[in-house]
């Protein structure tokens, strides 16, 4: 199961952000992004169009980006006001899950990635491991938090809070193969309507993270939305690195042994 977020119909209402926080009891994030302060006197504007959330974090599991992109042909046409609801991608090859030493991060029966708050010890290894910069540690709590894909709702056959609240069905929840089919159809429809820049992001199971459990239909390049264009699971090179380290250690051991043997001979 996963999300398909069709940004072509997103109206930027931020209902997903609020619904997510209400259902999951995530605190309001008042201070500058990442500061984790909940002192509401520190609320401030970011000066980034209507986006005053900034990015995903421990206290922000859905983030609606507002991008004011210049028209395709400079000087012709209106500014393109792009809106997109970002979320944890629930990668098929999830680096956060690979590096978690306590087993707090698990793969659920819905193929989603879930942090068990009662197991997490707050080591923070998962934070730099995420290729999207999604998971973060809540400073006043110490533990890592991110989108749970509403595990407590899906377990009982309910739709995640954000998808349930979305008034335009920009956020869709369902089995991944069905969502991928739906996304392909929508992309075709948009291309036929002349939206040449429309593209799917995270749909391909052959990409660097094995495909995203939450993928997107974007109306421009991923960089425009602040998404990495070619994400790679950060633990991809770990086995190779360990192999090289093991080879180096073995070589060193042989060299030491040879030195002892040769030394005794003299």
Partner 1 sequence: MSRYLPYLAELQPRAFCEVSPELARERGLVQNGWATLVTARSAIELRVLITERMTPLRIDGGETHQVGVPWHFGHGGFATGDSVNDLLSIALDPNVHIQESKALTCDIRPGRTPRGPALRALVEDYRRRAGLTP
Q: Give the range of 12-20, 131-139, 161-169, 225-233 binding partner 1 by CB under 8 A.
A: 12-20
From 87, 125, 119, select the one nearest 106 (Cα to Cα).
119
Q: How many residues bind partner 1 (CB under 8 A)?
A: 24
Q: Is 22 in the site for partner 1 (CB under 8 A)?
A: yes
CB of 167 closer than 8 Å to CB of 11: yes
The values of phi and psi at residue 228, to 5°, are -65, 130
Nearer to partner 1, 30 or 106 (CB): 30
Nearer to partner 1, 14 or 89 (CB): 14
Nearer to partner 1, 50 or 125 (CB): 50
**Interaction with partner 1 in 61-80: which residues (CB under 8 A)?**
68, 70, 78-79
Nearer to partner 1, 11 or 258 (CB): 11
Which region holds residue 256: left if phi is over 0, alpha if psi is between -120 and 50, else beta? alpha
Nearer to partner 1, 47 or 229 (CB): 47
Instruction: Report how far residue 220's alpha carbon sits from residue 108's, in angstroms, rounded to the nearest whole number.
Output: 32
Instruction: Report how far residue 227's alpha carbon sits from residue 132's, in angstroms, rounded to the nearest whole number.
Output: 7
Among 11, 77, 81, 244, binds partner 1 (CB under 8 A): 81
Task: Compute the least distance from the CB of residue 133 to partner 1, in Å.
Answer: 20
Task: Compute the least distance from the CB of residue 49 to partner 1, in Å.
Answer: 7
CB of 99 closer than 8 Å to CB of 129: yes
Q: Is 260 in the site for partner 1 (CB under 8 A)?
A: no
Among 11, 32, 43, 181, binds partner 1 (CB under 8 A): 43
Alpha-carbon torsion 12, 178, 98, 199, what sign? Answer: negative
Query: Which residue spans within 22-160 are E strands per DSSP?
Result: 62-69, 80-87, 105-107, 113-115, 136-137, 144-145
Task: Compute the least distance from the CB of residue 51 to partner 1, in Å.
Answer: 9
Two tokens, residue 136? 């973060």
Task: Compute the least distance from the CB of residue 74 to partner 1, in Å.
Answer: 12
Two tokens, residue 255? 């060299």
Among 2, 23, 29, 170, binds partner 1 (CB under 8 A): 29
Give the helix/strand (H/E) hosting 6: strand 2-6
Tell me which residues touch partner 1 (CB under 8 A): 14, 17-18, 21-22, 28-30, 40-41, 43-47, 49-50, 52-53, 68, 70, 78-79, 81
């Amino acid at each position: 199961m996963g999300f398909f977020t069709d940004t072509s119909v997103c109206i930027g209402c931020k209902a997903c952000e609020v619904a997510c926080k209400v259902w999951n009891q995530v605190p309001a994030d008042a201070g500058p992004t990442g500061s984790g302060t909940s002192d509401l006197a520190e609320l401030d504007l970011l000066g980034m169009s209507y986006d005053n959330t900034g990015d995903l974090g421990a206290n922000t599991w859905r983030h609606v980006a507002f991008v004011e992109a210049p028209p395709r042909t400079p000087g012709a046409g209106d500014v393109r006001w792009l809106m997109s609801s970002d979320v944890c991608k629930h990668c098929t090859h999830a680096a956060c899950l690979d590096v978690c030493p306590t087993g707090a991060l698990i793969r659920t029966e819905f193929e989603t990635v879930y942090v068990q708050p009662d197991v997490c010890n707050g080591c923070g290894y998962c934070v730099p491991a995420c290729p999207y910069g999604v998971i973060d540690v809540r400073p006043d709590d110490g533990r890592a938090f991110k989108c749970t894909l509403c595990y407590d709702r899906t377990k009982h056959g309910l739709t995640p809070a954000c998808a349930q609240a979305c008034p335009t069905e920009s956020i869709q929840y369902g089995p991944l193969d069905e969502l991928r089919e739906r996304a392909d159809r929508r992309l075709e429809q948009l291309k036929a309507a002349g939206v040449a820049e429309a593209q799917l992001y995270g749909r391909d199971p052959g990409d660097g993270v094995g495909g995203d459990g939450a993928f997107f239909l974007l109306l421009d390049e991923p960089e425009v939305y602040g998404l990495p264009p070619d994400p790679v699971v950060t633990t991809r090179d770990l086995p190779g690195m360990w192999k090289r380290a093991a080879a180096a250690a073995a070589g060193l051991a042989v060299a030491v042994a040879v030195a002892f043997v040769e030394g005794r001979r003299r």
